Amino acid sequence: MNRAITRRALMQGGLLAGAFVPVAGLFISGTARADLPALDPNDPAARGRDYVTKSAKSDAYCGNCSLYRKAGNATGSCALFAGKSVAFAGWCSGWVKIGGS
C-alpha cells in the first residue's frame, strides 16, 4: 500500500490550493473590515497623525487616499490605523493622493 506521489499530482494540487487562497481572502477580509471599531480622534495613533473625522480640505480626504479601503458607505480601513475603521470624509497627515506621488 505504498503509493508514490507523482510530480504532476503534486503540481496540480499546489495550483488548485494556490487558486483558492486569494478567493478565500476576499471573503474573509471584506467581512473583517466591516466590523472594525471606529478610530477615536483622541487615540494616540490618531493624534500622532492629526486625524480628524471631517477634512477641512475639499480635495484631500480619506475617501481619495491611496491608503484607504472602502468597507461601508461612510467608513473604511486604513493602512496606517490597523484594526480601526476611519471616516470616508476624514483626513490625517499620512494622506497620499490616489495615483499621485
pLDDT, tens digit (0-9, with 9 covering 90-100), for 53-79 = 999 999 999 999 999 999 888 999 999
Closest CA to 33 of 97, 90, 79: 79
Enter the DSSP assignment of 23. Answer: H
Residue 97 in any domain: the answer is no
Q: Is residue 81 part of a domain?
A: yes
What does the pLDDT look like over 6-50, one tens digit per residue? 888 878 877 777 766 666 555 555 444 457 899 999 999 999 999
Domain count, the chain: 1
Does residue 14 lie in a domain region?
yes
In a domain, 68, yes or no: yes
Say if CB 74 and CB 88 are below 8 A apart.
yes
DSSP string over the chain: --PPPPHHHHHHHHHHHHHHHHHHHHHHHHHHHHTPPBPPTTSHHHHHTT-BSS-S-TT--GGGBTTEEE-SSSEEEETTSTT-EEETT-B-TT--BTT--
Residue 2 resides in a domain:
no
pLDDT at res. 84 = 94
| Range(s) of the domain holding residue 51 | 7-87
Residue 98, in any domain of the structure: no
The string of pLDDT tens digits covering residues 78-92 is 999 999 999 999 999
CATH number at residue 11: 4.10.490.10
User: Is residue 44, in this structure, part of any structural domain at all?
Assistant: yes
State the Cα torsion 54-74-79-21 to the nearest 10°.
180
Residue linked to cell 497623525? 49
Kindly state whether residue 41 falls inside one of the protein's structural domains.
Answer: yes
Q: What is the pTM of this model?
A: 0.64
